Structure 1
Amino acid sequence: MNIKTQALSGGFQEPVFHSQGVFRMLMDGMARPGTVHTIAMDIGQPEPLGQAAGAIALTLCDHDTPTWLSAGLLKSPAAEWIGFHTGAPITREKAESRFAFVEAGVAPSSFGLFVAGTQEYPDRSTTLVIEIGALGQGQALTLKGPGIQQTTTVKLKGLPEVFPRLWADNRALFPRGVDVILTAGKSLLCLPRTTQIAVQ
């Protein structure tokens, strides 16, 4: 399959039904940080875009949501795939993005370059979708905050080493700041900016 064919193939087979299902997963994930959800449907996304990340793009991105991609995704058929299936304009400026997608193995240098919203409109911020190695194995983190009864522990494999520091800086901006969705293949886990993270 050539690059052009990869970019034009795939997508939701039942767009309304599938996008509603993924949207509900994301809303539940944001309401209950640390819970893992799995995307069951095959969407035919091109590598290195993961299945869950691709489903998130199909659900949330549209012509009004400038989308930033890390270098590996930008150079791959994934950039044209997202543009074709969602209509989202691909931007090279982090400060313009509503959504940002980062492939596995890449560590964001800073969350501060993305849109953090304003005091009046904190929701007008970037949501980062970061692919990691696996959910449910690897480094243990303790989460607490709204939507979590006392604390919960999650295990994340391949999380960038700088992530806890970047998250602490992000938390300091509250109510401003970015929200993060971690993806690993078919699985996803949401970290809204209200969540506190401690490394075990």
Structure 2
Amino acid sequence: MSALIKAAQAADFPAEISLVVSNRPDAAGLAVAKAAGIRTMIHNHRDFADRIAFDASLDAHLRIENIDIICLAGFMRLLTPWLVERWRNRMINVHPSLLPSFPGLDTHARALEAGVRFHGCTVHFVRPEMDSGPIILQSVVPVQFEDTPDILAARVLRQEHALYPAALGLLAGGRLSIEAERVRIEGARMPAEILVAPRF
């Protein structure tokens, strides 16, 4: 969230962070948002009878506020398919793995256990299935033999902070389209050659 706020402060960034919502009154992000002069809203899930009621109320508030895009950032509550479909192609998330590998929790420990050589993060459009949806951008980090889950997490987090604002900029700038659940980026050019040279 902090990375999105910082990116949006640039004059040429095509989106404004206008509201930060949390279902937890003690979420640290609320203080960060207030310090940046961004309005906040606590939408405590304990105040609602079930997930449908929570999501319906949240949807109503977001529409009253004229929100165009939802960026999930540390929001660990599963959303109902109803809400996800209401915001189809306007809700994005960042996940600390190279999806579709390692959806869910404990991604860094699982990557180390699997012995993968590369790990990373993914920004994707949200779909009803957890950690699924068309991939917008991915960033790859090498996995070192000496890595622990915490060390690897820190390396991936640095990439998340760069990747998420870039993906939001593409979406808000109207440069993304979805064809057969694959994302096309307007004006994107693939390098003529991509070389991956591991260091020994």
| TM class by smaller structure | under 0.3
The TM-score normalised by the length of structure 2 is 0.27
Which fold has the larger relative contact order, with Cα–Cα distance below 8 Å and residues 6 or more apart in sequence?
Answer: 1
Please state which structure has a larger fraction of its residues in helix: 2
More strand by share: 1
**Rg comparison, structure with higher value:** 2
TM-score normalised per structure 1? 0.27
